[in-house]
Structure 1
């Protein structure tokens, strides 16, 4: 229960912080910035941009905003005045037209972890396990989410932003679906179909509200946090039950992987609370959060694979597959 309480607290604090942050972007409201951009557009546009900027759809106006943002940041650092965010982002150095190189690299790293376990599960998970297909789908949705995270951090456009949010939301919702069918041991195919239909409808309604009605950042964050909190409750309840069972501690010792991963994610998420101007204009709190989730995601899949083999051994007398010594 301490784990659940701690994670709930972290999620609540981060939610409120992000809600406030989403409406705060002082840099692009500064008269000096707007004057710089207007002057740059008038004197420099149109201009021939390099290949990578054109490839990633940078316009002359976008390039002026980037140039002014960097020049004002240079001045702020020289004078010791505050460094501002512009359009909700810190003034990162771009690389080959990529807006946030560090977040892109770390998003790719997370995607590769999902790809590795996708291949590992296909090769080593027992084909008779009812959870095998669901776990493979888990990794596919993980790869999709991190792919769009990579694209979004490469170039922040309305479409890439929506796909990043929707893909992440789908992964969070599916994580809850998987937790329910595993912890509640849902085996009946009809029950799984009905439960899946409910989750699909919830997701369609969520996406529909954000695309047809209006995109509400606060609502989107609350929805994801609530679903994530529900998943925490499901796994925490399962863990408590397993630890209370006499004589089961040894066979369920792998459960500690899930606890370590969950606590690690919660601690790593707290990086968002200590947001700071990017080190070397490259590494900010958000990019470091993406970096931290690489080993934590691997740990989570280790837990899920151990759990899959435990279930297979428990139900079908398979020989336990050990990822741990």
Structure 2
């Protein structure tokens, strides 16, 4: 082995140590294993299996994966703690997919949105003013879960940002829609102004993360604040529907509990993120189970959209009839 190539291999391993490090990849054992693996197996004529090449694995990255699981298997045998590597637990990949459970459950969430697309288009009247916002909600949701699946397939800088930005867009759009629906905005000027404000906030958020600093803590706080505000809007609306004042103003929506149930259950599901733990069987961690738990919650919102549309259309017809009479 040429000295220059040996130095390059050690320099590459050292670079790995200094970027995005976790306890596992900072260890000498991992450093040594990856270095030896890279020196002995990575050569210009070496070729990875097709599934790994299709998912953009390189030989050094494959060495990292092999060493990670070699050390993890030894830790399990000796009852030592399981460590994270580059911010992730040691998952077993499938066909080159880094986190197969999270990918599967992300696609499941996207499917739940997509399968209601035709139902919403069919059952929501073309003349109903909220129809475009309901359909846009589906599009934003599918987009968000698609990029989540891509990110969990392979964690690159680009796929990570697309996942984070899509999630932020989904959360902010949910707040945009909540305000339009709950405050019953009908004026194009008011809706446009509110939409421009949301767009400006989103642009500033993405610009900061892209051009100033990709700050994970800021991203969590910003998205969390928007989500809390969104939840408070819907919880207040749901509670209002069961008051005597609401009934006197034509409320009496028997389905008004849907939004409250939706935001509460999603918040409880997100609590899984707090209880982080090594993946069971190298597949199911807290994050993947969070994605799994949100799949059955999506139909709650679609059911609300349909019920609310039906109620609003019927009320509108009665009001039109009264005005004519």
Question: How high is the TM-score relative to the length of structure 2?
Answer: 0.88
Q: In 1, distance between residues paired with 2:23 and 2:195?
A: 43
CA deviation after TM superposition for structure 1 residue 176, in Å = 0.2
| More divergent stretch after superposition (188-197 vs 87-96) | 188-197
Name the counterpart of 2:22: 25
Is structure 2 residue 285 aligned with structure 1 residue 284?
yes
| More divergent stretch after superposition (274-283 vs 305-314) | 305-314
Name the counterpart of 1:97: 96
Name the counterpart of 1:39: 36
Write the mapping of 1:142-161 to structure 2, written as runs, cut at 5 A.
142-161=141-160
Q: Provide Cα deviations, 1:169-201, integer angstroms capped at 9, x if missing partner.
A: 000000000000000000011111111111111
Write the mapping of 1:32-111 to structure 2, written as runs, cut at 5 A.
32-46=29-43, 47-111=46-110
Q: In 2, distance between residues paired with 1:82 and 1:315?
A: 62
Q: Is the 8 A contact 2:238 2:259 kept in 1?
A: no
CA deviation after TM superposition for structure 1 residue 310, in Å = 1.9
Structure-2 change in CA distance of 1:73 and 1:166 (3 Å): same
Q: In 1, distance between residues paired with 2:157 and 2:310?
A: 42
Point out where structure 2 has 5 or more consecutive residues left out of the alignment: 1-19, 320-325
Q: In 2, distance between residues paired with 1:165 and 1:247?
A: 38
Q: Secondary structure at the match of 1:134?
A: helix
Structure-2 change in CA distance of 1:139 and 1:317 (3 Å): farther
Name the counterpart of 1:182: 181
Name the counterpart of 1:12: none
Name the counterpart of 2:310: 309
Which structure is larger by alpha-carbon Rg, 1 or 2?
2
CA deviation after TM superposition for structure 1 residue 39, in Å = 0.9
Q: In 1, distance between residues paired with 2:90 and 2:318?
A: 57
CA deviation after TM superposition for structure 1 residue 224, in Å = 0.2
Name the counterpart of 1:3: none
TM-align CA RMSD: 1.7
CA deviation after TM superposition for structure 1 residue 250, in Å = 8.2
Q: Is the 8 A contact 2:123 2:306 kept in 1?
A: no
Q: How many residues align?
A: 296
CA deviation after TM superposition for structure 1 residue 246, in Å = 5.0
Point out where structure 1 has 5 or more consecutive residues left out of the alignment: 1-22, 319-325
Q: In 2, distance between residues paired with 1:317 and 1:51?
A: 64
CA deviation after TM superposition for structure 1 residue 252, in Å = 1.2
Q: Provide Cα deviations, 1:230-274, integer angstroms capped at 9, x if missing partner.
A: 111211221222121357398312112222222211211111122
Q: In 1, distance between residues paired with 2:239 and 2:140?
A: 28
Q: Is the 8 A contact 2:75 2:82 kept in 1?
A: yes
| More divergent stretch after superposition (107-116 vs 23-32) | 23-32
CA deviation after TM superposition for structure 1 residue 24, in Å = 7.8
Name the counterpart of 2:224: 225
CA deviation after TM superposition for structure 1 residue 285, in Å = 0.7
Name the counterpart of 2:300: 299
Q: In 1, distance between residues paired with 2:246 and 2:93?
A: 56
CA deviation after TM superposition for structure 1 residue 304, in Å = 2.5
Q: Is the 8 A contact 2:91 2:279 kept in 1?
A: yes
Q: In 2, distance between residues paired with 1:81 and 1:180?
A: 51
Name the counterpart of 1:128: 127
Structure-2 change in CA distance of 1:275 and 1:254 (3 Å): same
Q: Secondary structure at the match of 1:90?
A: coil
| More divergent stretch after superposition (199-208 vs 145-154) | 199-208
Q: Is the 8 A contact 2:23 2:85 kept in 1?
A: yes
